[in-house]
Chains A and B, each alone.
Chain A
Amino acid sequence: MSSASVEPRRAPAGSGVELVGLGKTFGSRTAVEGLTFEVRPGEVFGLLGPNGSGKTTTVRLLTGLLSASSGRARVCGVPIGVGSQELRRIVGLLTEQPGLYDRLSGAENLRFFIKVHELEERQAWPRARRYLERFGLAGREQEACGTYSKGMRQKLAIIRALLHEPRVLFLDEPTSGLDPEAAHTVRDAVAELASEGRTIILCSHNLAEVEQLCARVAVVKNRLLAVAPVPELRTRAFTLEVRLEGEASRFLPSLAGLPLPGPPTADQSSLRVPLSGEEQAPDVVSALVAAGARIYSAARAGRALEEVYLELVREKEALR
């Protein structure tokens, strides 16, 4: 990425997002329901969920592309709604597919959106040029977009979403379908935007990406499963790692009677036992000792966000 810079901007006060019981149904199908959470001004917030969990629907509700069936939401204090041009002036949207006009050049694509946003070209085009330089697309803007690589297309789509200096930027699966190198450059671009203090809502099922970029996440699967800072979510439940003598898998049956949040796993002489809380640790150790295990160590293991996420999704499915 080029070192050319765009003036850093701080998110103005009141540029957060607030959802209260937000829901959307399509006929008899409920896409999302009861979403209640808040995204703070200047925060990079992750919206996590599997495919079909309602992430894109939520983004479309918050960008005024769909109307809510229930609940309400405000973006920078502006109520959401399909008729709200004010809302669409303050939000920027990067869709999962970049959605570029392939026969038009990069510059023509950007100029079209400058016109549609009714921006002064004298001011907007220099800004677009700075973003082009910053994202490494300068010099390629006169080429037809159909000749761009996937990473270039996605970066141009990000620039397009930024042309009108939106107060809240929605990124829907920004690295979906990209090769690792392109995904890396896009993640770098998002990280830089985040460093400017922009409010960013990042939809993804790429947990590593969310963990890397977001301060807080909401896990959704048609409804809200959890909202928390990433570190807190990771420690909400934890795993006890037990090293013992001999093959660990033979002690798995001894844990069957314990009310664990998930199944324990064995790997050679190690057991990984998910716990709902620290108070379960002595019960696990006692059960293993009672089964004849000789324990060398029992320690709290760090959990990847992925484990927590899968656990939350599994819990939701078990409740059905």
Chain B
Amino acid sequence: MSGLSWRRVSAVLWKDLLDLRKNPALLATLAVLPAVLVAVPTLVVYSYVHSSEELALRTIAQHYEPNLPADANAVLFLVQKTVDEWFGLFLIMPVVVPMLISSHSVAGEKERRTLEPLLATPITSAELVLGKSLSALLPAFGVTLVAFAVLCVIVDLTAWPLAGRALLPNANWLFGILAISPLFSFFGNAVAVIISARVGDARLAQQLSGLFVLPLVGLAGLQLAGFVSAGPAYYGLLGGAVLLLDIGLLALSVRLLDRERLISRWS
């Protein structure tokens, strides 16, 4: 067996990105989640900054931080808290975006009956999976970066009258976006590839893959409710756990995406 051919990997990447570009329905779906994840914290920060209910806001702030000093700016504390904790929910994006793309591109090969002619070429299963994974991971990383950049600009503009400085990007977010979110994207992609290989129907694959986002939503909920304090150690731990999961999923996907298994199951 010869080694990995990057030319074939890039061929799959080229074709899948071209296909994605020509799929307005999927592009629209991909745009909704980043828009929501940027709009919601912006609106929350806006409402804090422009609220006249200072006492009520102090009560909320003390729910999160009972030892909040009396002279501390409770509104700024809440804005800072919102910005910091939002990363937990923001992580849903790098997971879900590759899930949507991969489910569509991997299971879509079955629906369109395109897999057999493709596997009859010299392409290997590993090249196919790698090409497809890159075509999901690169857009996911791009969308995450763009959404983060937009979030930084809008939140900073919104919070500037109160904070008088830029709240984003900060070290935690930069670490999260550059180090943690790719690990989560890899996780989302691997889950979608494996499920797509089993079910072969893009919508069912998306729905089943979506179940794997629920634990992340639960964790983010615990954060927002104040039960979990998210900091560098928390995200480092979370990233480490996802890295281990990624390694396991990679091994599983290589086993499941064996050429003969694909043909027997999908054709």
Cβ proximity bits B118-136 to A, threshold 8 Å, 1 near / 0 not:
1111111000000000000
B260-A89 in contact (CB<8A):
no
Which residues in chain B, 160-186, are within 8 Å of chain A measured between CB atoms?
none
Q: Is B22 touching A103 in the complex (CB atoms < 8 A)?
A: yes
Q: Which residues of B contact A85 (CB under 8 A)?
A: 1-2, 122, 124
Q: Are A115 and B14 in contact (CB under 8 A)?
A: yes
A65 x B117 contact (CB < 8 A): no
A65 touches B260 (CB 8 A): yes
Contacts of B263 in A (CB 8 A): 60, 65-66
Q: Is A319 an interface residue (CB 8 A)?
A: no
Residues of the B chain whose Cβ atoms lie less than 8 Å from the Cβ of A82: 259-260
> Which of the residues B19, B264, B267 comes within 8 Å of A104, measured between beta carbons?
B19
Task: Add 16 more A-B contacts to A26-B264, A95-B113, A103-B22 (CB < 8 A).
Answer: A66-B263, A66-B264, A67-B260, A82-B259, A95-B117, A99-B114, A102-B112, A103-B23, A104-B18, A108-B15, A115-B11, A116-B8, A116-B11, A118-B5, A144-B22, A161-B117
A interface residues, tally (CB under 8 Å): 36
Contact status A160-B260, CB under 8 Å: no
> What 6 pairs across the A-B complex have the smallest Cβ distances?
A115-B11, A97-B113, A93-B120, A103-B22, A85-B122, A99-B114
The number of chain B residues touching the other chain, given as a range, is 20 to 34
Q: A65-B263, A82-B260 are in contact. Are A112 and B14 (CB under 8 A)?
A: yes
Instruction: Check if B54 is an interface residue, CB within 8 A of chain A.
Output: no
A97 to B8, CA, bound (A): 23
Does B115 interact with chain A (Cβ within 8 Å)?
yes
A100 adjacent to chain B (CB < 8 Å): yes
Q: Which residues of A contact B (CB under 8 A)?
A: 26, 60, 63-67, 82-83, 85, 88-89, 91-93, 95, 97-104, 108, 112-113, 115-118, 144, 157, 160-161, 164
- Chain B contacts for A101, CB-based, 8 A: 15, 19, 112, 114
25 contacts between A and B (CB under 8 A): A60-B267, A64-B120, A65-B119, A65-B259, A66-B263, A82-B259, A85-B2, A85-B122, A88-B121, A93-B116, A93-B120, A101-B15, A103-B19, A104-B19, A108-B15, A112-B14, A113-B117, A115-B7, A115-B11, A115-B14, A116-B118, A116-B121, A118-B122, A144-B22, A161-B117
